[in-house]
Amino acid sequence: MSSSVQLFRDQKYHELKGQCTQQRRLFEDPEFPASDESLFYQSASRRKVEWKRPKDLCEDPHLFVNGISSHDLHQGTLGNCWFVAACSCLALRKTLWQQVIPDFKEQEWDPKNPEKYAGIFRFRFWCFGEWTEVVVDDLLPTMDGKLIYCHSNVKNEFWSALLEKAYAKLAGSYEALDGGSAADAIVDFTGAVAESIDLVQGKYGEIISEQMKLFEDLLKVHKRGGLISCYIAASSGSASEVETEMGLIIGHAYSVTAIRKLHLGERLIFSFKAEKLFMIRLRNPWGKREWNGAWSDSSEEWKKVSNSERKSLGLTLENDGEFWMTFEDWCKNFTDVDICRIVNTSYFSIHKTWEKKMMHGAWAKNSEPLLNRSGGCFDNKETFLQNPQYIFDVKKTEDKVLVSLQQEDRRKYKKEGKGDSIPIGFEILKVEDNRSYRLHRLTVQERVATSPYINMRTVFLKRILKQGRYVLIPTTYHPGIATKFILRLFTDVPSKLRELKADKPKMTCWSLLCGYPRRVTQIKIHSAEGLQKQDRSGGADPYVLIKCENQKARSPVQHDTTSAIFNTQVIFYRKNIDSPVIVQVWNSNILCDQFLGQAVLAASPSDPREEQTLQLRGRGGRAAAEVPGRITIKVFSSDDLVEL
């Protein structure tokens, strides 16, 4: 965690606690008072809610009783099973929950020194890219002397109720937590990268190969400290929290507490003469109501499992809300899974280390097209490129890229009737290898990836991209919507992610003296064919060098071929429009590269804009002698520097 922690409402825990102990009083939070305004943003309870401190609810209150466990907490009357499921996931990872509940031993009740207790607690959440500390008092909403919201199964344990209060304060009220996504809460607890998978759309219940890929992916995420939750989406017009024939609850979030490969049968010395089962363990936040199909707590299947295997699984045959099922049954019965990866960015790790870049941005409306930053999705052809644009490089021949786009949490706007997430997504375009200004027109750029467009807080995509330069364009689905976002990009090697802000080269005193660009030219080198053979095997190792005035760009080398596909794009801002663009083909050698031929282009706005194939010539002008080989290119030039 970063050493820099933001303070919510600028409340300083140690300072407030010191004042209370000095004055021998218990803390009462003026920023989240014990009143209806902290409970509700629109409705109100029909029954009187009483705010009580833990000492009024039991004799010996504690933050934790016998440590922390995913079995500790139960959902109350609030519709926030998603939050409780996220807490169950969090409880599985000591290093993670200790970030959320800092210095938990110092915050614990001390029976030997009761005068030190000040009724104040602090929790930390990863809010929009920054760790934020939230302070709360210990006044909790009750009815008939019992907690009405999240509570522990042990009467004198209060970590979950206090954590829920801090999260409600962040959201504006308890009612603002009614309905939500477990993935969002997990991200707020950990800073993880969330990915949502539609099991129905992906046909994971039908296609066994896809099912096995997903199992291995989830197993890897779980082993490496990630957190997973799942749910059954309610179909249109149907009610939520209805029980299926198999005992599962529709529209209800479950936490995944274990993923295992289970072997049935006889263990031999060097192998298994056994049936292999792929199993997953879930927990219902209600602490009851379990799956009643195969491998449920009371099913006959468990008789096939040895006592030692049962012990290693931690099997408990009780109605405690936790149960096992086969992965195949899970894929067939659940509709959605939220995978929250703790992406490893540490260099001191045996596992893969990712390079991370994070950018804060915003979609902002402006009537001037060059200043507007809210252009909507790709379907909005006229305004799409008015969105924020971010450029990054893939340095390897191929690299796996993880992208997470997260809009600001809108729960705090529920009082204003604007609490729903906005449909968002992003496009990734392959652009010129030397581009450093904003895109204004789509000509040779290739759309290499499109995320889903969904009204969720986070959109995630993973792709393998080839070497080159890319522009990532985050968008709202509809144009003209203003809100903030954070963009996170993970690659194997540094990507140099940065925002493109300038539309064209800046006019400076130096450019007035030395000349300012008068023309912009974009060139795409598609391929070369019929090149002269360069080695005994009859091949060559060609690359392309594109030169314009004092600028140049080079393509990657294509190996052992006389017909190479380059798909190299470059862009030049030209001061001297009479100076030609020269495209040269070279053969890569260990000692000295060999010139194979070139094409000399005027590259004026009146030249053909269609793809064309040109004969290669020797050194000199356009009238130089022909040499073996042809090159296929596409050229676009304009005297308007913001046309490309």
Give the catalytic positions in this structure.
81, 252, 284
For residues 344 and 354, is the Cβ–Cβ distance under 8 A?
yes
For residues 262 and 254, is the Cβ–Cβ distance under 8 A?
no
Q: How far is CA 454 from CA 203, 293, 406, 421, 460, in A?
A: 19, 33, 11, 9, 10
User: What is the edge-to-edge ordering of all strands in the sheet holding 612-617?
Assistant: 551-554, 542-548, 581-587, 594-601, 612-617, 626-638, 519-529, 564-574
Separation CA 620–CA 618 (nearest Å): 6
Separation CA 387–CA 469 (nearest Å): 18
Torsion of CA 330, 332, 336, 340, to 10 degrees: 30
Centroid of chain to Cα 126: 13
Q: Write out the two tokens for 26.
A: 């218990």
237 bridge partner residues: none
Separation CA 147–CA 208 (nearest Å): 45
Tell me which H or E stretch contains 166. Answer: helix 159-171
Backbone phi and psi for residue 577, each to the nearest 5 degrees, phi listed first = -75, -10
For residues 57 and 145, is the Cβ–Cβ distance under 8 A?
yes
CA-closest candidate to residue 135, choices 23, 21, 5, 24: 5
